[in-house]
Structure 1
Amino acid sequence: MAHNDKPINGQDNPSFLDLLNQMPPQPPAPELDSQHSTGRLAWLRAAWKASWQEGGFLHQRWEEVFQARHGSWHEAATWIKTTLLLGGLSLIVLMLDAAGDVVSAVLKSLSDTPAYGVGNGSGLWATVDQPIRVFLADQAAHLAVAPAALYAFWQLTGLLGLVGGFFGNAGARIAWLLFGIGSLAMIWSAAPAGGRAAATGLAALMWALASIFALRGLTLRPIVHNHPPQFQPHFNPALHLHATLPAPTPAADDLGPDNVHPLQR
């Protein structure tokens, strides 16, 4: 099948014009006018069947999709990669837009929560939460920020530290530790003098229970990997001596050197 585009990376780059080239010839206009829409529907039906036959445009695209399921990313057709990348980018944009709306709604709901209220609520959580509200309200009086904003930021930090620490993020776990230490310091500073120790101890127990999830899998033991080295050189001390001995010389006779010969007749 001829393509209008040049091959890219050794792969055919299909064009929608190939589908138009493979369509059967359209019946003449008078015939269409006489048969109204019947002739046009028959032509479209014939074009659809022709494109799904072996060698047709849609048939080859389906074969490329089937081969991409069992091959690698580099072996996939160019139009498949482009479609997947555009679809992934569109999904990421939608997710970011939805996440932005969710975060905005959460921050708005947290900022609408009153940061200070004397005598509001009772129970264990009020014992821990009320001193923090009082401390933040007193500090906000000397800062250019509303008490509700400080309280919302404190809640958001704890939520992110808890969720991020559960998934093993190191930065979130550090934020969770600082969140707990800061909360204990605020409770100790703003709690009533008579129940200061009890409120701080209760907050420490609640923070420790929540740390079971925030610090999941964290251990203080050093991890030792006892893997034998892949290359172990062998050293065998041995002394090799190479001595060259001279060849023995023949013994000389008593008559003199060997080059003296007897007189011949």
Structure 2
Amino acid sequence: MPADKPQNGQHRPNRTDVLPASPASGPLTRLRTTWGAAWEDGGFLHRRAAEVGQFWRTGWDDAAVWIKTVTLIAGASVIVLMVGAAADIATTVLGSLSAAPAVDVGAVDSGGLWGTVDHPVRAYLADQAAHLTVTPAALYRAWQTAGVIALIGGFLGNAGARLTWLVWGAASIFMIWSASPDGGRAAATGLAALMWALASIVALHGLTLRPVVHHHPPHWQFSPNLHIHAAPVPASNGPADAPTSSIIRPRQH
């Protein structure tokens, strides 16, 4: 007896009618269908993957527009982040320099060769800081930092660092000349110039004053081709134009 025939005047449902219908048209099924169609030949994601592969093979010039746009936006974002980080670092360094405590110039040990040139610099900066909104210690640290950066950068061959080293040395000698006692001003300035010259061996390493001359020998191009131009031969008009020859016979006696 069929299962779906009515029994006792009542309809008996089939087993397939009792089970819930399969969600063939649900959101997850549609998402899977769309994802698979996008990766098929000619699909959206398939074309984008092919453009990325072409970019790695051919380079920037033949890249798709969307690849160039995404790359430029990402590069600009990285630059903005780097500039922001550099600004935060610079703000922190300058803040620490400005908040440096004051240093008593008289308490600094002025003995030895280094003290002879260091004490006048501290005294000069302390005198100038009295008219500025910065502590003498902050000026002294800034002077030290500039000298170290110029020394290292000059050794690495940076032109700007070498120029900074020259300006830093000239300013240091001027400060030592201005703040040194009258009796030992010449000796302190000469010693500072000597020490600066010795340090310049490191800072100006590889610098030469000789002009760089590039010799480019001329390139002669010799072509051993011999061109022979044949003279035109006049057209022949018959036997009259033929060359004649005279035969000399021996004379008989």
Q: TM-score, normalised by structure 1?
A: 0.60
Superposition CA RMSD, Å: 3.6
Shift of 1:222: 1.8
Residues in 1 aligned to 2:124 and 2:24: alpha-carbon distance in whole angstroms = 79
Q: SS of the residue aligned with 1:146?
A: coil
Aligned to 1:201: 191
Report percent identity of matched pairs: 52
CA distance in 2, matches of 1:163, 1:36: 72
Show the counterpart of 1:53.
40
Distance 1:212 1:60 in 2: 61
Label 1:217 to 1:38 Cα distance change in 2 as closer, same or farther (>3 A). Answer: farther
Cα distance, 1:167–1:62 mapped onto 2, change above 3 Å: farther
Deviation at 1:44, TM superposition (A): 1.8
Are the aligned partners of 1:64 and 1:77 in contact in 2 as well (CA < 8 Å)?
yes
Q: 1:150: Cα distance to partner?
A: 3.6
Q: 2:97 aligns with which of 107, 110, 128?
A: 110
**Deviations 1:130-156 (CA, angstroms, capped at 9, x unpaired):** 331211112333x44434454354345
**Offset at 1:161?**
2.8
CA distance in 2, matches of 1:61, 1:54: 11
Residues 154 and 205 in structure 2, CA contact (< 8 A), matched pair in contact too: yes
Q: Which residue of 1 aligns with 2:107?
A: 119
The aligned runs of 1:80-119 (5 Å cut-off) are 80-114=67-101, 116-117=103-104, 118-119=106-107
| Structure 1 residues 144 and 41: alpha-carbon distance in aligned structure 2, compared to 1, 3 A threshold | same
Which runs of 5 or more structure 2 residues have no equivalent in the other structure?
Answer: 1-19, 222-253
Aligned to 1:131: 120
Closer, same or farther: CA 176–35 of 1 in aligned 2, 3 Å: farther
1:39 aligns with 2:29: no
Correspondence 1:146 to 2:99: no
Task: Give the Å deviation of 1:108.
Answer: 1.4
Q: How big is the shift at 1:67?
A: 0.8
Structure-2 separation of matches of 1:108 and 1:82:
39
State the match for 1:7 in structure 2: none
Distance 1:55 1:123 in 2: 83
With over 3 angstroms needed to count, the CA separation of the structure-2 counterparts of 1:188 and 1:53, relative to structure 1, is same
Which structure: larger Rg?
2
What is the aligned residue count?
198
